[in-house]
Structures are given as C-alpha cells and as structure tokens.
Amino acid sequence: MELSDDEMHLYSRQILLEGWDLDAQERLKLSNVLIVGCGGIGCALAELLARAGVGKITLIDPDIIEMSNLQRQIAFTEQDLGFYKAEILAKRLQQINPFVTLKSMTAKLDQSNASALVAEQDLVLDGCDNFTTRYTVNAVCKAQQVPLISASAIGFQGQLFMAEGNSACYECLFPKEQHANENLRCADSGVLATTPNVMAALQAHHALLYLGLGKMPLRQKLMLWDGLSMKQKLLAFEHDENCPICQAR
Ligand SMILES: [Zn+2]
C-alpha cells in the first residue's frame, strides 16, 4: 500500500520525524480503531487520530449534544445542539481529513453490539462516561484479545491505562463490586474544560505509539494525572486472581 502525494504532503511533518517513518505512517493508514464515547475525551481523541492519519475510525455514542457539553467537547458548536454526537463528530472529522474512513453509530455500546464492533478493530479506545460501559468494553476486548487504551477524566483528575494480550485488565485494577455503588460521572460531579482534553491528548499519543511503532509504555500500568499539582504518576498493577474476566480466558 502506498500513500498518495496528497497524503504524503498532509503527513509530511510526521514522516520527517526521526523515529517515525513511511512504514509507521502506512501502518496508521491500515489501522481500524473504535472510539467509545464522543464526549470530552472522544472529541479531542478522535480529532487527533483523524489528523494524524489513522485509516478507519468507528465512533459510538448514544447521546445528543447539549449546551453544557460545549464547555469542553471541542468538536461541537451551538448550531449542533440537539443533534447526535457521533454523527456530528464524524462529519467534522471527514472535513478535517478526507482520507480517513469514518463510521458512526448512535447507540450505547452494550452486550448486544459490543462483540461485533470490537471484532473488527486493531485497537479500542474507551473515553465513555460510565462504569457499566467501561466494564463491558473491557470484557469484550479481553475475550476477543483486542488491545484497549482507556482514559477517564473527572474534576481536575485523569487516568489512563492500556490492557493488551495477557496483561491484567480494567477489572483486575478496579474490581466490579467495589464500584457497584459508585456513579461518578462528569454529568454529576463537574469537570474543568481542560481535564478531558489533556487525557484525550495523552490517550491519542499512546494510540499513535502503539499503531505506528508497536510501543506500549502504559501496558498494565495506570497513569494518574493530577490537574492541580500538574504531577503525573505511573503505577504498575498486577492480575487480580479473582478477576472473572481474566479467569474466563
Ligand atoms: Zn482481569
């Protein structure tokens, strides 16, 4: 597969980069990724990956755009209020980069659609706003052995990690029963405009490292970003021997 002259021009600053080359750029073009959630994280994440040249991006989100989203969800404007997030985001990405193949689904990712969606992917990127979806994405990625990079942001805090192959998974890190009664969402708890965008940029960066170069610096590691001190911590985590997701494999 070769990149066209227009694509070579568009991606020239990446192809020129030492440590990134034509092969890395072509690997990006051949990549299929699924982005779960088109909110504060999904908007910025999807835009960066589309600009960088990821070949096929599938977006899934059930929601419509509301006024309170515009403070941080950078793909949307006042004219978009009331329209579906996944559709509007896909349209914007297509205008930014005509070489990307886009697919959008207005639906909640759940047991009924997750397997078919995840099966086609080289990488799944979770930026959703609730634990139920997060656990479903983790379980399906593990079952189908599709790598997962998951980001979250709330208040001034962000988290990021990667699960891949036989690594420990999201449920090893956060056992389900401990989160049963927890329902922290931006919708309820507040979030600074920048927090999800910082985490989305880190998540997109990690996705490019993985898709282009096969690097996985956050495999089985949890990155904690604190937006008040601007400090960042990396914690290694292990398999939870009681994790039902890892045991099922
Ligand atoms: Zn596990």
Give the Å distance between the CA of 204 and the centre of ligand 1. 23
Rounded CA separation 105/118 (Å): 13
Among the listed ranges 97-111, 197-211, 234-248, which one has the minimum average pLDDT value? 234-248
Residue with tokens 């205008």: 95
Task: Evaluate if residue 110 carries a pLDDT over 80.
Answer: yes
Give the Å distance between the CA of 185 and the centre of ligand 1. 23
Give the Å distance between the CA of 179 and the centre of ligand 1. 15
Side chain identity at 153, as an amino acid letter?
Answer: A
Give the Å distance between the CA of 170 and the centre of ligand 1. 6
Sign of the torsion angle spanned by Cα atoms 126, 62, 94, 42: negative
Give the Å distance between the CA of 141 and the centre of ligand 1. 11
Digit-coded pLDDT (tens) for 51-81: 999 999 999 999 999 999 999 999 999 999 9
Rounded CA separation 35/41 (Å): 10
Give the Å distance between the CA of 242 and the centre of ligand 1. 8
Section 80-94 average pLDDT: 98
Task: Give the phi and the psi of residue 177 in degrees, each rounded to 5.
Answer: -65, -30
Give the Å distance between the CA of 150 and the centre of ligand 1. 14
Side chain identity at 18, as an amino acid letter?
Answer: E
Give the Å distance between the CA of 31 and the centre of ligand 1. 26
Domains and CATH numbers, the chain: 31-247 (3.40.50.720)
Rounded CA separation 186/157 (Å): 11
Q: Which residues contact 98 (CB under 8 A, 6 or more apart)?
A: none
Residue with tokens 């449920």: 171
Torsion on CA atoms 127, 70, 97, 101, rounded to nearest 10: 50
Chain centroid offset of residue 74 CA:
15
